[in-house]
Amino acid sequence: MKIDTTDAKIVRLFTEHPRMSVLEASRQLGVARATVQARLDKLIDGGAISSLSPRLDPTKFGYSVSAFVSVRVEQGAGHANLGEFLAGIPEVTEVHTVSGDFDVFCRVVATSNADLQRVLDRIAAHPTPVRTSSSLVLTTHFENRALPAFEAAAEHPA
- Summarised one tens digit per residue, pLDDT across range 30-85 is 999 999 999 999 999 999 998 877 888 999 999 999 999 999 998 877 778 899 99
- Summarised one tens digit per residue, pLDDT across range 118-133 is 999 999 999 999 999 9
158: pLDDT confidence band, cut at 50, 70 and 90? low
pLDDT number for residue 62 = 96
pLDDT number for residue 155 = 87
- Summarised one tens digit per residue, pLDDT across range 86-117 is 999 999 999 999 999 999 999 999 999 999 99
Domains of the chain: 5-54 (1.10.10), 58-136 (3.30.70.920)
The average confidence (pLDDT) of the chain is 93
- The number of C-alpha atoms within 13 Å of 11 and in the hemisphere containing its C-beta is 25
